[in-house]
C-alpha cells in the first residue's frame, strides 16, 4: 500500500513540474546573429518536494540567459533555495546533530518513515547517481 501511495505522490509531483514547465516555456527564436536562442533561458526546470510534508520547497528554471551567467542552472538554483527553506523549517540542533548527519538523514528525509528505515537496514551505505 505504501508503494502505491508513493507512486501516486511521485506522479503528482511530476505533473506539477510539467505544469510549471508549460507555464514558463520559453520558445526559441533566431537571434540577429543567426543562432537559435531563448529570452529567459533553456527550458530546463527543477522542483524539490519535501518528503516529510509534501510541500514544494523550490521550483526554478535555468537563468543562464536572464542573468547572462552560464553557471545559473535550474538544478543548482532549486537545491540552494530548498536548503534555505528547510533550514528554517527544520533547523539542525547543533549540539546533538552533526552537519553530515543532518544533510544525509534529516534534510529531505523523514527518519521515522518506512522507506527510510527500509533503506537504512538494507545494507546499502550510499547511492551514486550518474
H or E stretch at 59? strand 56-61
Over residues 63-76, mean pLDDT: 88
How far apart are alpha carbons 98 and 89 in whole angstroms?
Answer: 17
Each residue's pLDDT tens digit, 17-47: 788 788 878 888 898 999 888 877 677 888 8
Q: Quick one: pLDDT at residue 49?
A: 81
Over residues 51-70, mean pLDDT: 85
Q: Quick one: pLDDT at residue 19?
A: 83
8 A C-beta contact, residue 69 and residue 55: no
CB proximity list for 5: less than 8 A, separation 6 or greater: none
Amino acid at each position: 500500500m505504501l508503494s502505491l501511495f508513493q507512486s501516486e505522490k511521485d506522479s503528482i509531483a511530476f505533473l506539477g513540474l510539467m505544469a510549471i514547465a508549460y507555464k514558463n516555456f520559453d520558445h526559441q527564436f533566431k537571434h540577429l546573429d543567426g543562432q537559435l536562442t531563448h529570452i529567459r533561458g533553456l527550458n530546463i526546470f527543477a522542483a524539490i518536494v519535501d518528503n516529510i510534508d509534501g510541500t514544494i520547497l523550490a521550483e526554478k528554471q535555468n537563468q543562464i540567459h536572464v542573468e547572462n551567467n552560464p553557471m545559473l542552472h535550474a538544478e543548482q538554483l532549486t537545491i540552494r533555495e530548498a536548503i534555505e527553506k528547510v533550514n528554517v523549517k527544520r533547523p539542525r540542533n547543533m549540539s546533538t546533530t552533526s552537519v553530515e548527519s543532518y544533510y544525509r538523514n534529516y534534510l529531505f528525509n523523514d527518519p521515522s518513515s518506512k522507506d527510510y528505515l527500509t533503506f537504512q537496514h538494507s545494507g546499502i551505505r550510499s547511492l551514486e547517481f550518474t
